[in-house]
Amino acid sequence: MGLATVRTLIAEGVRVMGAARTITPELKETGALTVSADLSTTEGVTTLTDSALAELSGIDLLVNNVGDGDDVLGFLEADDDHWARVFDLNLLSAVRVSRAALPSLIERRGAIVNVSSVAARQPAVGQIAYSAAKAALTSLGKSLAETFGPQGVRVNTVSPGVVRTSAWEAPGSLGSQYAAGAGVEQTEFLRQAPEAFGISSGRITEAQEVAALIAFLLSEAAGNIIGADFVIDGGQIKTL
């Protein structure tokens, strides 16, 4: 989703700095400025924000897309280190980057989009820490919108369901763990996923669709959308 978002924003004429622990050839080929940083750490956040302020002379837009589903574990198997690791990656990365970027965002009346998950609304069995962290991230977006909206900074949240990414398709990924639990091959699990997850559209979401929603929320066309949480899940969440 991050790569698709970078490509979409660059196509719209935005100068982008992309950060990841590993800078892939695909990210380099987008034409974005890149920085290698582990955003689950304070040091990684400092590296990113210092680089962005130096290279871009300021920050107008911020997409907090850092995150990963934790291993499928029962509550009694997940120790304190596991919880700390999941919260550092899925919640505190956004807290730290937003705190560092906000002075520039306030000055430029910019926008933030946090990428949460439908797990914030429909907690996943076996991913309790991840669901809790994403619920906290969704709450953070609302609080930041209330705090900084009067200063001209728009903050919104995007909550995807199952998205066609390596998190579901790669060997050894979350998707493979779910497939093993269901006793089927990973390709078959993904084929059955829309029915298994109750996805009304009959298909899982494409990364480009999430990127298009993020780009819209960052744009001036969404100028009075503040503090909202947009679910993009093909109709998986059935509640209001």
- Cα→Cα distances 84→5, 125, 130, 168, Å: 27, 19, 11, 23
> Does the residue 157 lie in any domain?
yes
Residue-wise pLDDT for 181-225, tens only, equals 889 999 998 999 999 999 999 999 999 999 999 999 999 999 999
Mean pLDDT score, 1-12: 98
Q: What is the pLDDT of residue 86?
A: 94
Residue-wise pLDDT for 35-72, tens only, equals 999 999 999 999 999 999 999 999 999 999 998 866 67
Q: What is the pTM of this model?
A: 0.95
> Does the residue 9 lie in any domain?
yes
Catalytic residue of the set 100, 114, 130, 177 = 130
> Does the residue 121 lie in any domain?
yes
Residue 58 in contact with residue 108, Cβ under 8 Å?
yes
Q: What is the pLDDT of residue 181?
A: 81
Residue-wise pLDDT for 134-160, tens only, equals 999 999 999 999 999 999 999 999 999
> Does the residue 102 lie in any domain?
yes
130 in active site: yes
> Does the residue 188 lie in any domain?
no
Q: What is the DSSP letter of 68?
A: -
Q: What is the pLDDT of residue 70?
A: 60
CATH number for the domain harbouring residue 30 = 3.40.50.720
Residue 155 in contact with residue 227, Cβ under 8 Å?
yes
> Does the residue 174 lie in any domain?
no
Residue-wise pLDDT for 21-32, tens only, equals 999 999 999 999
> Does the residue 169 lie in any domain?
no
What residue numbers bound the domain in which 86 lies?
2-161+204-232
CA dihedral 203, 18, 141, 145 (to 10 degrees): -120
> Does the residue 193 lie in any domain?
no
Q: What is the pLDDT of residue 67?
A: 87
